[in-house]
Copies of this chain bind each other. A is one copy, B any other.
Amino acid sequence: MANQLRLSIDRSSPVPLYHQVVQGIEAAIHTGLLEPGSRLENEIDLAAQLNLSRPTMRKAMDELVRSGLLVRKRGVGTQVVSSQVRRPLELSSLYDDLTNNGSKPTTEVLTFAHIEADAATREALHLAAGAKVYHFTRLRKVGGKPLALMENWVRDDITHIDEDLLKAQGLYGILRSGGVNFRLATQRIGAMVANDYQAPLLETEPGSALVTMERTAVDDTGRNVETGHHVYRGDSYSFEMTLVQR
C-alpha cells in the first residue's frame, strides 16, 4: 500500500514538530490523499523519512487517534478510519462556532445587571456569600432568525462587562480578552418544551421542542468563571460530536 506522504517539516517554525505532522496528516486525509481504510507506513519508517524520532512521530499519531482520524492495532499497523470526522465538541462559545461557520450572528441583550449572587450561583461559581456577579440574558439570531436564548452568570473580578460589549462580541471572546484562559467545562444537554416566555422570543410556538444546555466553565487558575443556562430551537440546533474509544 505504502502511501507516499510528502509532508514537509519546518524545523525553524515555532509550531512543535509533532503538531506539524498532525496538521500534515489531517490535511492529507481531508484532501483525499489518504483514503479511509488505507494503511499508513509504520511509525519508524515514517519518522525516518521526516528525520524525526519515533516518540515525536508517536505523539503526532496519538493525537490523530484521539481525534478519531486514525486507528492503531498492535502487530498490524495504523489505518485511516474516516475522512469526515467531526471535531470533538470544542470548548468554544456558540458565537465562535457561528462566525467560524461563516454566519453572522447578532446578539440582543434582554436584561443586564450587576447583582449579588444567589445561592445556586455561589455554589456553581464557588463564591463566598455576598460576592457579586454579572447576570444577563441574551437572544442570539442568525440571519434574522432567533436561535438561542441564553442566561449567564459571570464572576465580576475578572474583567469589566457591559451591554455594549455583549452586543458586539461573544461572551467567551470578552473573557479571553480579559485574560481568561479556559481549560475545561462541564455541561449537560437535555430537552424541554418552550414556555410562554421563551416561545415569542424564539419566534416559535409554546410547546415546541427546545434543546437545553447548562454549562460551567473553569479557567487555568481553577476559578469557575462562568455558568449559564441556554436553550436552542430544537428545529435548528443540535450537538454533534465524535466519541473515541480509549
Q: Which of A82, A181, A191, A220 has the most B CB atoms < 10 Å from its CB?
A: A191
Label chain A's interface by main secondary structure: strand
9-residue interface stretch from A148-156, A163-171, A205-213: A205-213
Indicate whether A86 reaches chain B with its CB closer than 8 angstroms: yes
**Whole-angstrom distance between the alpha carbons of A212 and B80 in the complex?**
29
Given A81-B183, A91-B243, A183-B81, are A191 and B188 neighbors across the interface (CB < 8 Å)? no
The answer to whether B184 touches A68 (Cβ under 8 A) is yes
Number of copies: 2
How close is A149's CB to chain B, nearest CB, in angstroms? 14
Chain B, Cβ-Cβ closest to A214: B238
Q: Using a CB-CB cutoff of 8 Å, which residues 184-208 of chain A contact chain B?
A: 184-193, 207-208
Determine the residue in chain B with the shortest Cβ distance to A192. B209
In the assembled complex, A158 has its CB within 8 A of some CB on chain B: no
